[in-house]
Structure 1
Amino acid sequence: MTVWPAETAPQERLWLAFPTGGYTLGETAADAHEARRMWADVAAAAADFEPVTVVVDPSQIAVATRYLRDDIETVVTPLDDAWMRDIGPTWVHDETAEGSGRSLRAVDWVFNGWGAPAWATWGNDSLVAQTVAATAGTPVVSSLLVNEGGAIHGDGDGTVLVTETVQLDAGRNPYATKQRVEAELARTLGARKAIWLPRGLTRDYEEFGTRGHVDMVATIPSPGTLLLHTQQDPAHPDFEVTRMLRDFFEGQTDASGRRFDIVELPAPGVLSDDEGPVDYNYVNHVVVNGGVIACAFGDPEADDRAAGILADAYPGRRVVSLDARPLFARGGGIHCITQQQPAQR
């Protein structure tokens, strides 16, 4: 039997991928510098708490050396993009191997560029999970489910959050049913209950979106507690979306039958950018040993309020906030570019 540990469980290291090309690096030297600096800043912040390894495309070795701190390890392998949460493996523990020091397993989902959109390439990224697992010395659990790490979230106690518009997306799993997906999550993650969100944030359904990643909406800092993104301005389309999601979660119980204690994480004040309504949220943070690397958005009042909520939700951990607007302009947040490797049991 496998168990998917909570993100708060002890970690061996944090993994990232270094930006390679395309829309992530942008069209100008200034755009490329902004992206590389952002990814490097997240890696450096995490490295203050635990070991960090960054996967680097062969074409970017010299550039990555200039941006990454000397104490950050690198692994060279071809990349299409740099969203490690989605292309990396999801690590689980094999309970039958606990105590042996070799309990860790790496679930390798099928990755097809978030549903095979015309603009994406994923031939290299689809192989990254196996490379990372091999580098970590972790046996692979192969899955035929098209899935991404940002599309699932667990509480370490058998509860898994998923979204109807992701796992049941015709571009990902055209023949899937909830029952089939749940059976695969039980096999790979040890899921005892899947909670199916009806949808994600508005911006996530635009051309370059993922169509409903849960890590932009909600996270479970401890069993029975849910941190929920909340848009408080009626002028933003997510005002209605986040209220609907709160109503939804109020009617749910987790794998152990608990109703959720819902803690709202209010959005910052900015409503839009040049592309339309933004999806700025504080849910998209990453937990590390002794810390939380959180998003900030140049809104001091909202940023400080969110940092305080996160500090309360993760007692004993130091919250480090980084301006994540360059990440969100490229389609994601801090959680999206990182993937934690749990410690062996």
Structure 2
Amino acid sequence: MSPNSENSPPIAGWRMPAEWVPHARTYLSWPAHTSLYRADLPAVRDTVARLARAVADHEPVALLARPEHRDAAQRAVGGAVEVLPIPVDDLWTRDHGPTFVSRPGAVAGVDFGFNGWGDKQHPHEDDHRVARRLLDHLGLPRLAAGIVAEGGSLEVDGEGTLLATESSLLNDNRNPGRDKEHVEAVLGELLGIDKVIWLAGVRGADITDCHVDALARFAAPGVVLLDRPAAGSAPDEWTAVSDQALKALQHATDARGRPLEVVELPAPDRSRIRGSGDFLASYLNYYVANGAVFVPSFGDGRADDHARGLLAELHPGRAVVQLDIDPIARYGGGIHCATQQEPAMTM
């Protein structure tokens, strides 16, 4: 079944580029969720502002903010960041914003119908409309997906291969009655995907139902970085998720028939982390921008240094910038979750 393309151009030829290709700009969002963040909201906003300013050193950045918050947001991010008056509820632009696709001479955005990660979070009425409103503002075509997904559930190599977790995309809280074949067909048409490598993930352990962007990421075609438990970690549902993913990736081939090189990236020592519960302690939730890679630091010096060195090796020619993002990591997200890239137009 084809995606719903009402008010959309023909979709043939669109492809989701790999994150490391040149960007036109990066988008972030200014959180408005006073009921969720309460006393933490100033620290959360400060973290978003610091991230926006850091990325703006390397490429254009636009920050989405509710119109009544526009002036305060502009003061926080400074003149190097453009603030767009688009209502948002939360800061997770990767998930509520459009997923951009391109073809020669054109860029479009896929609207995956954000529903609060399977209706787990309220309110998200404005977040549900962010993709449409941003694409209207930019004058870019909108491709209505016809399935529900979030950008953090989609990891591509730019050559036709997608990494995804069954727990997120094949979940009745998003796509009831939609089987694997249907979801693959829609993603194939929308994102130019020839092969999906499915990882099991885990349902209900976090708000995202195990988004792939904190578990496994392409560092290059044929090369996958995998989040692994810190040394000495006790077995739990997350170590089981990583173990399953390791076995699946070791036996997988990509869309071009290549076996995958799996590079393990250990998580930090949880005892060093200033947070608990939903805290996202994964270096995998990094962001590749023009000329730089942005990765969390968690206060475990050895693990922080290892993550920085490994990402520098895998992304030569890019500066590796580490940021303390604890205020947003405490709410289950990271740098990748907070950002969304618009690819530069190719001819």
TM-score, normalised with respect to structure 1? 0.92
- SS of equivalent to 1:321: strand
Q: Is the contact between residue 199 and residue 244 of structure 2 (CA under 8 Å) also seen in structure 1?
A: no
Q: Distance in 1 between matches of 2:277 and 2:18?
A: 34
Kindly provide the CA deviation profile for residues 68-89 of structure 1, in whole angstroms up to 9, marking residues without a partner as x.
1211001112222111000111
Question: Is the alpha carbon distance of 1:325 and 1:23 closer, same or farther for their aligned partners in structure 2, counting shifts above 3 Å?
Answer: farther
After superposition, residues 218-237 of structure 1 pair within 5 angstroms as 218-231=216-229, 232-235=231-234, 237=236
1:58 paired with 2:61, answer no
Q: Distance in 1 between matches of 2:59 and 2:339?
A: 13
Q: Distance in 2 between matches of 1:151 and 1:9?
A: 19
Residue in structure 2 matched with residue 27 of structure 1 by the alignment:
38
Show structure 2 runs of 5+ residues with no match.
Answer: 1-12
Question: Is the alpha carbon distance of 1:276 and 1:82 closer, same or farther for their aligned partners in structure 2, counting shifts above 3 Å?
Answer: closer
Residue in structure 2 matched with residue 256 of structure 1 by the alignment:
256
Q: Distance in 1 between matches of 2:91 and 2:38?
A: 16
TM-score, normalised with respect to structure 2? 0.91
Residue in structure 2 matched with residue 184 of structure 1 by the alignment:
186
Q: Distance in 1 between matches of 2:31 and 2:254?
A: 37
Question: Is the alpha carbon distance of 1:277 and 1:13 closer, same or farther for their aligned partners in structure 2, counting shifts above 3 Å?
Answer: closer
Question: Is the alpha carbon distance of 1:23 and 1:46 closer, same or farther for their aligned partners in structure 2, counting shifts above 3 Å?
Answer: farther
Q: Give 1:137 deviation, angstroms.
A: 2.6
Kindly provide the CA deviation profile for residues 123-169 of structure 1, in whole angstroms up to 9, marking residues without a partner as x.
11111111222233311111111000001110000001111111111
Return the match for 2:108 from 95, 98, 105: 105
Q: Distance in 2 between matches of 1:172 and 1:80?
A: 20
Residue in structure 1 matched with residue 292 of structure 2 by the alignment:
291
Kindly provide the CA deviation profile for residues 241-295 of structure 1, in whole angstroms up to 9, marking residues without a partner as x.
3222211110111111111111111111115776447540111011000110111
Q: Is the contact between residue 86 and residue 134 of structure 2 (CA under 8 Å) also seen in structure 1?
A: no
After superposition, residues 157-168 of structure 1 pair within 5 angstroms as 157-168=159-170
Q: Distance in 2 between matches of 1:60 and 1:35?
A: 15
Structure 1 counterpart of 2:31, which letter?
A: P
Q: Distance in 1 between matches of 2:278 and 2:49?
A: 27
After superposition, residues 8-47 of structure 1 pair within 5 angstroms as 8-22=20-34, 26-28=37-39, 31-47=40-56
- SS of equivalent to 1:246: helix
Count of residues in correspondence between the two structures: 331
RMSD: 1.7
Question: Is the alpha carbon distance of 1:276 and 1:77 closer, same or farther for their aligned partners in structure 2, counting shifts above 3 Å?
Answer: closer
Residue in structure 1 matched with residue 140 of structure 2 by the alignment:
138
- SS of equivalent to 1:7: coil
% identical aligned pairs: 39
Question: Is the alpha carbon distance of 1:86 and 1:145 closer, same or farther for their aligned partners in structure 2, counting shifts above 3 Å?
Answer: same
Which piece of structure 1 moves more, 276-285 or 173-182?
A: 276-285
Return the match for 2:215 from 199, 214, 217: 217
Q: Distance in 2 between matches of 1:136 and 1:259?
A: 39
Residue in structure 1 matched with residue 337 of structure 2 by the alignment:
336
Residue in structure 1 matched with residue 6 of structure 2 by the alignment:
none
Q: Distance in 1 between matches of 2:340 and 2:294?
A: 12
Q: Give 1:236 deviation, angstroms.
A: 5.1
